[in-house]
Amino acid sequence: MRLDKLISDCGVATRKEAASAVRAGQATVNGNVVREPDRKVDPGLDAVVFRGIPLVYRRFVYVMLNKPTGYVSATDDRSLPYVLELLPPEYRKRGLFPVGRLDRDTTGLLVMTDDGQTAHRALSPRRHVEKVYSFTCIAPLPLDAEAAFADGITLGDETCKPALLKPASDRLSGTVTLTEGKYHQIKRMFERLGNKITSLKRETFAGIALDPALAPGEWRELTERETETLLSAAGTDKPE
Ligand code: URA
């Protein structure tokens, strides 16, 4: 791989910045200054130091975003704000995309990555990856609502998998845990009970909790432990 690409893949500079910094003598490969941005390096073998910092090459990047309302879960959109706009250009250039979708008015945890296999498997219905949402609704939930969610609510000609509904004492708010992701699923489940969601926020995905320090629109990379949790939920922590 090219030296400037390796540097920008590490997230420390854009490709253009990396190329000019390399020309200016700010990178070494195995202890020797290299001024050619297109010099071929092996990320597994060559020790690259950029602006004095040894680089650790990462094949994939995993980010958590606290999605604000009003953004679509897409990598591009002609007319609406989209979540990739909230990340710096280096991440967009890497080809990060959201793992699944939240509705435009849903807030909370959205994981983004360039690891297609993990994303695909984490979303596979076979994996039963858990997602916990907090909600508010327009009318108090009836006392049999928990049982209806546990039995599997029917939406059109599909029956949902059992879901865990935990209303708060006011029965106007609470959490729902799903292991699948049908279109507008929670909103449609509430409508089926004659109710209506007034706010929805994803709190956890695949065992990873939204960092409370992130304000809406803020993001950070997953920690090593969170990444391991995601890979293990998706089954990509071990070869098939
Ligand atoms: N269920 C919904 O209705 N909307 C979401 O964004 C996520 C789950």
Q: Could you tell me the residue ranges of all domains in the chain?
A: 3-54, 62-125+220-234, 131-205
Judge whether 189 and 153 are in contact, CB under 8 Å.
yes
CB of residue 196 inside a 6 A radius of ligand 1:
no
CATH class (in words) of the domain with range 3-54: alpha beta
Pocket test for ligand 1, best of 177, 187, 204 (most atoms within 8 A of CB): 187
Query: Is pLDDT larger for residue 77 or for residue 231?
Result: 231
Closest CA to 67 of 218, 222, 200: 218
pLDDT over 60 at 131, yes or no: yes
Residue 65 alpha carbon to ligand 1 centre in Å: 16
CATH fold group of domain 62-125+220-234:
Alpha-Beta Plaits (3.30.70)
Residue 238 alpha carbon to ligand 1 centre in Å: 30
CB of residue 103 inside a 6 A radius of ligand 1:
yes
Mind listing the pLDDT tens digit for each residue in 198-213? Answer: 999 999 999 999 999 9
> What confidence category does residue 154 fall into, taking pLDDT thresholds of 50, 70 and 90?
very high
Return the bridge partners of 205, or none. 131, 208
* Dist. CA 12–CA 149, nearest whole Å: 46
CB of residue 187 inside a 6 A radius of ligand 1:
yes
Query: Encoding tokens for residue 139?
Result: 């009318």
Residue 226 alpha carbon to ligand 1 centre in Å: 23
pLDDT over 90 at 89, yes or no: no
Residue 134 alpha carbon to ligand 1 centre in Å: 11
* Dist. CA 128–CA 111, nearest whole Å: 17
For residue 31, count other CB atoms closer than 10 A to its CB. Answer: 7
Closest ligand 1 atom to residue 189 Cα is: 3
For residue 129, count other CB atoms closer than 10 A to its CB. Answer: 23
Return the bridge partners of 53, or none. 50
Positions annotated as catalytic residues are 103
CATH fold group of domain 131-205:
Alpha-Beta Plaits (3.30.70)
3-54 and 131-205 share one CATH topology?
A: no
> What confidence category does residue 239 fall into, taking pLDDT thresholds of 50, 70 and 90?
low
pLDDT over 60 at 94, yes or no: yes
Indicate whether this model's pTM tops 0.95: no
